[in-house]
């Protein structure tokens, strides 16, 4: 085995699915990403509306046993496809869902309740597959040679980001995140705190956040990250839990990421506008002398690292 990972984008939008003619090229389904190792192991991240198409593909090719599905958080655009995930209704299939508890609500109940009346007519007990639930927080899960690390990120509710490592390859998936929203960007992306310096509490807190976040994404081969807003939109939406593409690019550059994939496209965003976001993102990187590759996630496409 060469330690290769194939990334397939089954859903790339945020908030809600879209089907407008000007938004078809990048795709209209909400978050779902599949990562397949060259040893045959497959991992799925999020159960937005895109997981329905993944499920249909699995029905054609067969389901690996067990299939691990990692849920970043239970906002609708990340779980709305689960009731339509066909493999879950097939006896003999095995699926394990990983995700975090929401306060006092166990992770399993989070998924069960969205399929209960009056929200949905078919409850989770109708899933005939062998279903398991694993509550995770900031932890590490090992699955057949792949390591999946998780960390909490800046988004309303309890929300996880995931780092997948296989051999020498690494992919970080953080679809909903607004890092360092409370800090001026010039402080975030500068070196502070030489040994022996006296720091105020804000600087100490910022340094702790930077050490944790950049330690998680640092040197990743691929970073798939929230880039829902433009810099012009972002000031009116600060605190909503999403990033501008400028913030995402600066974060990836500071973290020495090799390839950045803009993700969680706003439902108002047309294909041409996403093209423009990519161009502007590449310009930011070029101005800093970086060779980091930048693209936008496109539904029903795959890339191999």
| DSSP letter string, 72-107 | S--SHHHHTTGGG-GGGGSTT-EEEEEE--BTTB-H
- pLDDT over threshold 70, residue 132: yes
For residues 299 and 163, give the distance between their C-alpha atoms in angstroms, rounded to a whole number. 21
**Residue with tokens 């496409």, as numbered in its chain:** 301
- Average pLDDT of the residues of the chain: 94
Q: Is the pLDDT of residue 222 over 60?
A: yes
- What average pLDDT does range 66-85 have in this prediction? 96
% of the chain beyond a pLDDT of 90: 86
Residue-level pLDDT at 182: 78
Torsion angle, alpha carbons of 118, 82, 11, 144, to 10: 160
Whether 153 contacts 173, CB under 8 Å: no
pLDDT for 269 beyond 80 = yes
The answer regarding whether domain 5-304 maps to CATH 4.10.490.10 reads no
Contact between 71 and 79 (Cβ < 8 Å): yes
Is 196's pLDDT higher than 80? no
Mean pLDDT of 110-119: 91
User: What's the rounded Cα separation, in Å, for the pair 127 and 88?
Assistant: 5
User: CA triplet 189, 241, 169: central angle to 5 degrees?
Assistant: 60
Strands (E), the chain: 5-11, 32-37, 42-45, 67-70, 94-99, 130-135, 140-143, 146-152, 160-166, 169-174, 222-226, 259-263, 293-296, 301-304
Q: What's the predicted TM-score (pTM) here?
A: 0.95
Overall residue count recorded for the chain in this entry: 305
**Helix axes 201-217 and 245-254, enclosed angle (nearest 10):** 80
Q: What are 16-58's pLDDT values in tens digits?
A: 999 999 999 999 999 999 999 999 999 999 999 999 999 999 9
* pLDDT score at 184: 81
Residue 130 has pLDDT above 80, yes or no: yes
Does 193 score more than 60 pLDDT?
no
Cβ-proximal residues to 184 (8 Å cutoff; 6+ apart), any chain: none
Q: End-to-end CA distance of the chain: give it in Å, rounded.
A: 13
- The predicted pLDDT at position 67 comes to 96
Give mean pLDDT, residues 108-137. Answer: 93
- Residue 1 confidence class, pLDDT cut points 50, 70, 90: very low
Q: Which helix (H) or strand (E) holds 247?
A: helix 245-254
Give yes or no for a contact between 283 and 29, defined as CB atoms under 8 angstroms apart.
no
């Amino acid at each position: 085995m060469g330690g290769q990972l194939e990334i397939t984008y089954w859903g790339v939008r945020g908030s809600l699915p879209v089907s407008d003619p000007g938004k078809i090229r990048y795709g209209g389904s909400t978050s779902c990403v599949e990562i397949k190792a060259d040893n045959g192991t497959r991992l799925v991240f999020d159960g937005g509306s895109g997981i329905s198409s993944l499920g249909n593909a699995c029905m054609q090719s067969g389901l690996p046993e067990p299939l691990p599905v990692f849920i970043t958080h239970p906002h609708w655009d990340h779980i709305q496809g689960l009731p339509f995930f066909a493999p879950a209704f097939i006896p003999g299939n095995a699926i394990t869902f990983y995700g975090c508890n929401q306060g006092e609500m166990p992770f399993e109940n989070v998924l069960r309740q969205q399929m209960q009346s009056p929200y949905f007519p078919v409850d989770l007990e109708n899933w005939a597959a062998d279903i398991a639930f694993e509550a995770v927080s900031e932890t590490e899960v090992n699955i057949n040679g792949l390591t999946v690390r998780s960390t909490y990120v800046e988004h309303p509710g309890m929300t996880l980001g995931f780092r997948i490592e296989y051999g020498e390859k690494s992919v970080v998936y953080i679809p909903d995140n607004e890092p360092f929203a409370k800090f001026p960007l010039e402080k975030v992306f500068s070196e502070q705190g030489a040994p022996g310096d006296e720091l105020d509490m804000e600087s100490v807190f910022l340094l702790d956040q930077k050490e944790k976040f950049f330690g998680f994404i640092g040197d990743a081969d691929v970073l798939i990250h929230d880039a829902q807003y433009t810099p012009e939109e972002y000031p009116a939406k600060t605190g909503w839990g999403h990033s501008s593409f400028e913030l995402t690019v600066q974060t990836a550059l500071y973290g020495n990421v090799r390839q950045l994939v803009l993700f969680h496209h706003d439902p108002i965003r047309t294909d041409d506008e996403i093209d423009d976001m990519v161009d502007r993102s590449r310009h930011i990187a070029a101005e800093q002398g970086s060779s980091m590759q930048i693209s936008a996630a496109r539904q029903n496409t795959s890339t191999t690292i």
